[in-house]
């Protein structure tokens, strides 16, 4: 036996269903919006990452900041440590250039890190590093050891900045591309001085 539903009742049921569906859809959208905009809502992984300094950057970019900072600090510290004991004037001038250029690059790196919300590692205790160089003999041996270290360090720095120059972050890529030619020039100069001391 067929059940006949009055047209008016059929319309009322249909309208209720549409209304209920719209209410559920609106609630779903509200929940979704609340999850992304309400600070009291449980954090998604992406939102939690954005709240931590520099976590929106790739791991490679964060490693770049850390390694570049440590490298730059070392170049200045070592060069300052040996500068006044170098007998070779060309090597001494190179050390002065290292202090000047790397101090400037370090300041620019720090400014970029602040812009990106990255906390650079605190300056390590440099006493061990500077003591190592202060105990080395003056004269040619010191110059040779210093230039050997500068060649090695700048090979690493050039490699680091070449990779950073391809970063997807435009600011990091721009900084790396701007700094890279100077590092390459330092490396070539260091190699020339190292050969001249042989």
**Pairwise CA distance, residues 75 & 106, whole Å:** 10
Q: According to the model, what pLDDT value does residue 55 have?
A: 64
Higher pLDDT, 12 or 169: 169
User: Could you tell me the pLDDT band of residue 103, with boundaries at 50, 70 and 90?
Assistant: very high
Segment 24-41 mean pLDDT: 41
Cβ atoms < 10 Å from Cβ of 119: 12
Q: What is the pTM of this model?
A: 0.69
Looking at residue 121, its pLDDT comes to 76
DSSP codes joined into one string, the chain: -PPP--HHHHHHHHHHHHHHHHHHHHHHHHHHHHHHH-TTSPPPHHHHHHHSTTTTS-HHHHHHHHHHHHHHHHHHHHHHHHHTT---HHHHHHHHHHHHHHHHHHHHHHHHHHHHT--PPPPP-THHHHHHHHTS-SSHHHHHHHHHHHHHHHHHHHHHHHHHTT-SSHHHHHHHHHHHHHHHHHHHHHHHHHHHH-
Which tens digits make up the pLDDT trace of 111-148? 999 999 998 877 666 666 677 777 777 778 899 999 99
The pLDDT mean for the chain works out to 78
Could you tell me the two tokens for 78?
């070592």
Q: Mean pLDDT throughout 68-75?
A: 92
Q: In the prediction, which pLDDT does 39 show?
A: 38
Distance separating alpha carbons of residues 88 and 107, to the nearest angstrom:
29
Percentage, residues of the chain above pLDDT 90? 58
Exposure letters 50-67 (e unless 16+ CB within 10 A, then b): eeeebebbeeebbebbeb
Q: Is residue 30 very low, low, confident or very high in pLDDT (cuts 50, 70, 90)? A: very low
Q: What is the mean pLDDT of residues 48-52?
A: 35
Query: Any idea which of 19-23, 55-59, 109-113 has the lowest mean pLDDT?
Result: 19-23
- Determine the pLDDT at residue 135: 72
């Amino acid at each position: 036996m067929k059940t006949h539903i009055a047209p008016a009742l059929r319309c009322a049921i249909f309208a209720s269903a549409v209304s209920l569906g719209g209410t559920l859809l609106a609630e779903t959208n509200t929940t979704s919006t609340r999850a992304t905009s309400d600070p009291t809502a449980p954090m998604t992984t992406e939102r939690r990452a954005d709240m931590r300094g520099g976590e929106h950057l790739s791991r490679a970019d964060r490693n770049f900041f850390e390694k570049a900072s440590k490298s730059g600090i070392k170049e200045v510290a070592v060069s300052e440590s040996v500068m006044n004991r170098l007998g070779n004037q060309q090597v001494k001038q190179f050390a002065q250039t290292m202090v000047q250029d790397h101090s400037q690059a370090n300041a620019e790196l720090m400014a970029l890190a602040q812009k990106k919300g990255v906390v650079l590692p605190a300056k390590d205790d440099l006493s061990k590093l500077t003591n190592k160089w202060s105990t080395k003999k003056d004269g040619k041996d010191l110059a040779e050891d210093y230039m050997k270290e500068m060649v090695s360090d700048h090979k690493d720095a050039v490699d680091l900045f070449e990779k950073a120059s391809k970063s997807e972050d435009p600011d990091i890529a721009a900084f790396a591309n701007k700094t890279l030619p100077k590092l390459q020039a330092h490396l070539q100069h260091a190699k020339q001085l190292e050969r001249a001391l042989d």
